[in-house]
Structure 1
Amino acid sequence: MTQALRRNFVIHTLALSACAVAVLALPRPASAADNPDAAMHIIVGYAPGGAADSLARIYAEQLRQDGHGTVIVENKPGASARLALDYVKRAKPDGKTIFIGPSPLFTIFPLTYKKLGYDADKDLVPAAVLTDVPTVIAAGVQQPYKNMKEYVEWAKRNPNSASLGLATIGSAGHLGTVALGKAAGIAITPAAYRGASPMLVDVISGTVSIGWDAVASMMPLYKGGKLQFLGVSGTRRAKALPDVPTLKEQGFSQYDYATSWYGAFLPAGTQPDVVAKVEKMFIVASRNAATAGKLEALGLEVAAKPGQDARHRIQLERAAWKPIVEATGFVAED
């Protein structure tokens, strides 16, 4: 090799080496593994101020305190929380986007919606059962009826004014009330809202005659003397409301299964180790004494159960609701 060729070879080799170093130095697309400190987003399908929103913010605060970095709560109301669920199912399955929502989205909606927009068994992965959710029927304190029996009698005398405010069409409270109406021979018109807060404004004013939601949404207004509770759902009294009778005690068995629960869910495709990490994260947060106290003050009952428990509950409760849905003939169209 001549001296000129040798010099050109060395220059060419150095140039290639420099290019290789430059390529290696180029930034790569970020991933959850590359950036474990990326913000966590908790997605809620209702407007601020309701039970789901309050619960999500309590957990976000505890997760930050537990060292899980930045945790942001995002409200995406609409379509009875299905818009938020759709958003999460399309999110990257890296454990950083978490849906917190009520069980009827997975237990009742598959039975009532012709076009659900998601597969309740495949599109999301249950990570944890967070809380059990006692629900209640409430009315403004100025209303003449003080319990559900009195309301039914009032509705018979005022058929054009009987209405039920709720945040979710096709929810347990809605179906229970449809079934009650059929049994009592009255029509109670459902009025859907984008969250508990705007619905409760109308319940207090009397724009709607009664409202149904989680005790958590209504407790501050109940304690503040703005609402009266006509009865709680389920087969036992709520821990936070030992003096309020169940609807079953008043002769209305249509609400036996209307006590739901909130869960944390991840997009399908999330790796099992990531699901396990999120599951542990939420269970630890649930068992924190301060967090549990805040949840119980809202009327929520801490569950702190793993994702497997959520899967079991979904199948069990869907089977229980199926004959009730069939008996009412209700079909959700929106």
Structure 2
Amino acid sequence: MRLISRLFMGVLPAMACVAMTFPAYAQKAGALPQSMTLVVGYAPGGAADTVARAYAEQLRKDGAGIVIVENRPGASGRIGLNYVKDSKADGSTMYLVPSPLLTIFPLTYKAPGYNAETDLRAVATLVDIPTAIVTGASQPFDGMKDYVEWAKKNPAAVTSLGVATLGSSGHLGILAVNENHNMKIEPVAYRGASPMLIDVSSGVVSIGWDAVASMMPLYQAKKIKFLGVSGTSRLDALPEVRTLAEQGFPEFKAATSFYGIVVPAKTPENTIKVLEDAFLKASEAPALREQLAAKGLVMAPAKGQDMAKRARDELASWRPVVERTGIVMD
């Protein structure tokens, strides 16, 4: 499946109104609306909200118009995405898209409600979203390798992974771990990261997976501890936490998601270019980079065409995992 030279994704909660004008950009393309809406497919709080609000503020500082951050939660982000794809294609409505809606959901959902290739156009990648596996602070294991060894020595123990989204890279990753390491870790779905992490901290589920940014508050409160992070390198915000790949679990190398911006497919090219320039310029601000890095996010600005290629490549990497596990979502 050729995914994306038209792709976008988003994440921004709660109805935050941030004033901005687009004078500099308007001179280039001349058609940006004075009022824009950045849709987030999740409730207020968490990594998506953090990114959306931070970019909205930076755009204001850069001299853009009025940007409204609007939360449309539900269906693992698909309600917000479908709202945007059906919106007027004039650059006034954008979606902060989490990459699984482009790289995994087209493989795992029978009817996701959208076609990532034909319904959307990618504007820009904003940040990488390192993910991690965590456990309660009082649990007797300190890394993913320790957890697997503990589980094998305690066959009667409950081994479960809390996830906020079935069909996510965390879900697929743990199914691959089960297959490769002869484990039976059961994915348990929650309606969001917050209730899942509360159950992780209290031991209701043995481990949990989500974005590092969503986990930092409970980690800083010493309620949970990290067993390992996704990707191939440690995070500046958590230098002491080993990657899962370091510990012998390459199944999570590709579990670092990203947030990007997408717009309806028929949005004019010049409008897309103006939006791309605006978001890439905002990404250069040192204060924005520091703010997001402290939350466990990694700046990864890239043009729309690069976002499309990355999504296409990640889709290809997940396809064999989905085919082997046979996971299909309704």
TM-score, scaled to structure 2: 0.86
Aligned-partner Cα distance in 2 for 1:99–1:272: 17
Counterpart of 1:88?
84
- What residue is the counterpart of 2:109 in the other structure? 113
- Within a 5 Å distance, the mapping from 1:1-334 to structure 2 comes to 36-38=33-35, 40-156=36-152, 157=154, 161-333=158-330
SS at match of 2:254: coil
Separation in structure 2 between the aligned mates of residue 159 and residue 328 of structure 1, nearest angstrom:
25
Q: Deviations over 1:75-110 (max 9, x none)?
A: 222211111111111111111111112111101111
Whether contact under 8 Å (2:105, 2:167) holds in the other structure is yes
- For 1:327 and 1:306, the matched residues in 2 are separated by 33
- Displacement of 1:160 in angstroms is 6.4
Residue 277 of structure 2 aligns with an amino acid whose one-letter code is: K
- Measure the CA separation in 2 of the matches of 1:290 and 1:215: 20
Q: What is the identity percentage for the equivalent residue pairs of Structure 1 and Structure 2?
A: 56
Structure 2 unmatched runs, 5+: 1-29
- Tell me which structure has the larger Cα radius of gyration: 1
1:159·1:187 contact (CA, 8 Å) conserved in 2?
A: no
> What amino acid is the match of 1:118?
Y
Task: Give 3-state SS (helix, strand or coil) of 1:256's partner.
Answer: helix
1:240 aligned counterpart, secondary structure? coil
326 and 159 in structure 1: CA distance in 2 versus 1, 3 angstrom threshold: farther
| Code of the aligned partner of 1:86 | N
Shift of 1:186: 2.6
The CA RMSD measured in Å over matched residues stands at 1.8
Q: Compute the displacement of 1:191 (Å).
A: 2.3
Unaligned runs of 5+ in 1: 1-32
Q: TM-score, normalised by structure 1?
A: 0.85
Larger CA deviation: 166-175 vs 199-208: 199-208
Supply the AA of the counterpart residue of 2:45: G
Asked if the contact 2:33–2:91 (Cα under 8 Å) also holds between the matched residues in 1, the reply is no
2:18 aligns with none
